[in-house]
């Protein structure tokens, strides 16, 4: 039997309505007791005085690039980046090479994660074979082998009839289709938000309707089939209105927003910085403000980083030629705490909910809570600390972020997965020291 006691921290768990100075007692990787001044002998005691203790953070949208993209990231390096960022669970997208569209692919990711990962990694499988948009994958089989959702992310599910069928089948499995909702003809050769900045820079634009028209289609198909559609990385004010209305009508739609769409506008590309090229593109201030409101009022269910690593070589090219995407796992907590709680957009408890229990609910995951009997996935945060975003501090294999060189308040102190410390004070624990129970 192994035991751990986390003492005197401010335990904040929105799923259990907990906020107070409490102790957490962990037995064999499971939360066994939670209360004031627990008297317990433990193999390991962590003094969390003055620190925030929350359920391990959950990110339902990351790209770990393995197999096929190991120059950008691996499951090993991505899991280190996640652990350093306070994440204990991530769900990885299937736009790998080969695409995760078979039991073999899903099993491969799970096997590599069991060997190499510090944290929980759940694969998301493709909606269509090869993500080619023609033929749907074996949803039941993929679920059996551990897929937690389906997505062709990187590309939308283009064919409306394929989307309708996919929603009809996954409704029976009670699993979501996570759609990268954009109309390809409207994206065209676009690389930036269709607005004044793109016009000034001479860049092709992506109109808002690329997203909004697709979101409207997805909502209608979810209504028709009773399926659950999850809209990935929402970027427009109008999409928020459509989602809010659909939720009111009782349609099974959920949605996520990224830290970069909450913080940045298309002004970030004014210097042609490829670090700020992302899909969907960074939009105008009115969109950014609407996303903040929608996150606050629950129209947008959760924050997801869309951690999308790319190498320096790939990003050191003219703007139009750079692959879209930016990393986020290492430092998204600090960005969100500093900017969202700091600016009064979210309360601390709302922020924790949108990075723990709310994403867990979207995908029916068991984490996001410190309730007794749950796996002891716990993150300890120093709200007085600071997070520096530098090439030296980033644990991801890639450093493609427009936030490089910046500093934000608060700091992830310790990350615990199933009762084992996987990250503490800037250092990831060596894999050999963590036997997987």
Residues that bind ligand NCD (CB under 6 A): 63, 95, 153-154, 180, 278-279, 306, 308, 323-325
Which of 379, 382, 392 has the alpha carbon at shortest distance from 422? 379
Q: How far is 24 from 45, CA to CA, in rounded Å?
A: 10
As measured in angstroms, the least distance from the Cβ of 306 to ligand NCD is 5
- Closest contact distance (angstroms) between CB of 216 and ligand NCD is 20
Please say which residue, 117 or 400, places its beta carbon nearer to ligand NCD.
400
Task: Tell me the closest approach of the beta carbon of residue 382 to ligand NCD, in angstroms.
Answer: 30
Peptide bond just before 415 cis, omega within 30 deg: no
Shortest Å, Cβ 278 to ligand NCD: 4
What DSSP character marks residue 47? E
CB nearer to ligand NCD: pick between 10 and 233: 233
Q: For residue 272, count CB atoms less than 10 angstroms from its CB and return exposed for 0-12, middle for 13-18, buried for 19 or more.
A: middle
Asked if residues 146 and 89 have their Cβ atoms less than 8 Å apart, the reply is no
Nearer to ligand NCD, 23 or 256 (CB): 256
C-beta of 10 vs 283, nearer to ligand NCD: 283
Among candidate residues 59, 152, 153, 306, the one labeled active-site is 306
- End-to-end Cα separation, the chain, in angstroms: 12
- CA quadruple 223, 227, 228, 234: dihedral sign: negative
Which is closer to ligand NCD, CB of 304 or CB of 351? 304
Peptide linkage before 112 cis (omega within 30 of 0): no
| Cα-based distances in Å from 260 to 1, 57, 67, 100, 276 | 43, 18, 26, 26, 9
In 3-state terms the chain splits into helix, strand, coil percentages (rounded to 5) of: 35, 25, 40
Encode 283-320: b = buried (16+ Cβ within 10 Å), e = exposed: bbeebbebbbebbbeebbbbbbbbbbbbbeebbeeebe
Q: How is residue 287 written in tokens? A: 């969109």
Q: Cβ of residue 232: shortest distance to ligand NCD, in angstroms?
A: 7
Active site residue 382: no
Both tokens assigned to 318: 């003219």
Nearer to ligand NCD, 56 or 281 (CB): 281
Q: Residues with catalytic annotation?
A: 306
């Amino acid at each position: 039997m192994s035991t751990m006691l986390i003492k005197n921290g401010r335990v904040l768990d929105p799923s259990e309505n907990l906020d107070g100075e409490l102790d957490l007692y962990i037995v064999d990787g499971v939360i066994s007791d939670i209360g004031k001044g627990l008297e317990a002998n433990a193999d390991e005691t962590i003094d969390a005085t003055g620190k925030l203790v929350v359920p391990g953070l959950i990110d339902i949208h990351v790209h770990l690039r393995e197999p096929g993209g190991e120059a950008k990231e691996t499951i090993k390096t991505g899991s280190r980046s996640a652990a350093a960022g306070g994440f204990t669970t991530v769900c990885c997208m299937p736009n790998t090479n080969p695409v995760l569209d078979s039991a073999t692919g899903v099993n491969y990711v799970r096997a590599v994660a069991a060997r190499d990962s510090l944290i929980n990694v759940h694969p998301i499988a493709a909606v269509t074979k090869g993500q080619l948009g023609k033929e749907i994958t074996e949803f039941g089989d993929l679920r059996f082998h551990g897929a937690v959702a389906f997505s062709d992310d990187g590309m939308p599910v283009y064919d409306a009839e394929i989307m309708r069928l996919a929603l009809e089948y996954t409704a029976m499995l009670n699993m979501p289709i996570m759609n990268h909702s954009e109309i390809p003809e409207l994206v065209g050769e676009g690389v930036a938000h269709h607005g004044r900045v793109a016009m000034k820079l001479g860049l092709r634009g992506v109109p808002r309707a690329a997203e909004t028209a697709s979101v409207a289609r997805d909502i209608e198909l979810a209504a028709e089939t009773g399926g659950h559609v999850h809209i990935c990385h929402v970027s427009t004010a109008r999409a928020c209105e459509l989602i809010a209305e659909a939720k009111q009508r009782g349609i099974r739609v959920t949605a996520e927003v990224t830290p970069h769409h909450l913080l940045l506008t298309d002004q970030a590309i004014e210097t042609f910085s490829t670090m700020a090229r992302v899909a969907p593109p960074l939009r105008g201030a009115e969109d950014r403000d609407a996303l903040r409101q929608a996150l606050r009022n629950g129209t947008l269910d959760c924050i997801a980083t869309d951690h999308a690593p790319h190498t320096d070589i790939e990003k050191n090219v003219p703007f139009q030629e750079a692959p879209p995407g930016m990393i986020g796992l290492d430092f998204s907590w600090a960005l969100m705490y500093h900017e969202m709680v700091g600016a009064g957009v979210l309360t601390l408890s709302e922020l924790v909910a949108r990075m723990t229990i709310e994403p867990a609910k979207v995908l029916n995951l068991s984490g996001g809570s410190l309730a007794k009997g749950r796996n002891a996935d716990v993150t300890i945060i120093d709200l007085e600390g600071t997070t520096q975003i530098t090439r030296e501090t980033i644990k991801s294999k890639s450093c493609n972020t427009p936030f490089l060189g910046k500093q934000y308040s608060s700091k992830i102190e310790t990350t615990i997965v199933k009762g084992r410390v996987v990250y503490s004070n800037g250092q990831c624990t060596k894999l050999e020291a963590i036997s997987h129970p």
